[in-house]
Amino acid sequence: MATVIVNGGQAIPPNRMLGGGTEPLNVGWGTGAGTAVVGDTTLFTETALDLTTTSGSRTAGTSSRVTTTLTNDTYQVTATKTASGAGTVTNAGLWDNVTIGSGTLYLKGDFTGIVLASGDSIAFTIKVKFA
């Protein structure tokens, strides 16, 4: 299992510091297998809430700054995604666009599959610590 800031996402913080770009606060999830690596540009089989459709919308999260070691050294996004169908979620990521198939992937993580029935939810808390 791995969580990485992908190569394409490396440009997002400098762009934001200069007042450009879009904040990566949209959470997507996928149902495919694999291990996240920095060269990834998409999730493994990113799906909509029904866990089968590969188009639609990601879930806009709420961003904040939190303290891990030093005051406000960590960017945090929280979002809850509720499945409208059954399936197994195996990976998730932060995007700078809410529409599946659009935008730049910033961060990606894979994990042991979480089996969901329709109506089940995953509450994601994604943290990026700046050291």
- 75-125: pLDDT as tens digits: 999 999 999 999 999 999 999 999 999 999 999 999 999 999 999 999 999
Percent of the chain with pLDDT over 70: 100
> Is residue 12 within a helix (H) or strand (E), and if so which, with residue range?
helix 12-17
**pLDDT tens string 85-94:** 999 999 999 9
Single-letter amino acid code for the residue at 86: A
Yes or no: say if 94 and 25 are a contact pair by the CB < 8 Å rule.
yes
pLDDT, residue 100, reads: 97
Coil, strand, or helix at residue 8? helix
Do residues 24 and 13 lie in contact, with contact meaning Cβ atoms separated by under 8 Å? no
Residue 131's pLDDT is 86
Q: Would the pLDDT of 1 be above 90?
A: no
Position 26 pLDDT exceeds 90: yes
Q: Is the pLDDT of residue 55 over 90?
A: yes
**What pTM was estimated for this model as a whole?**
0.95
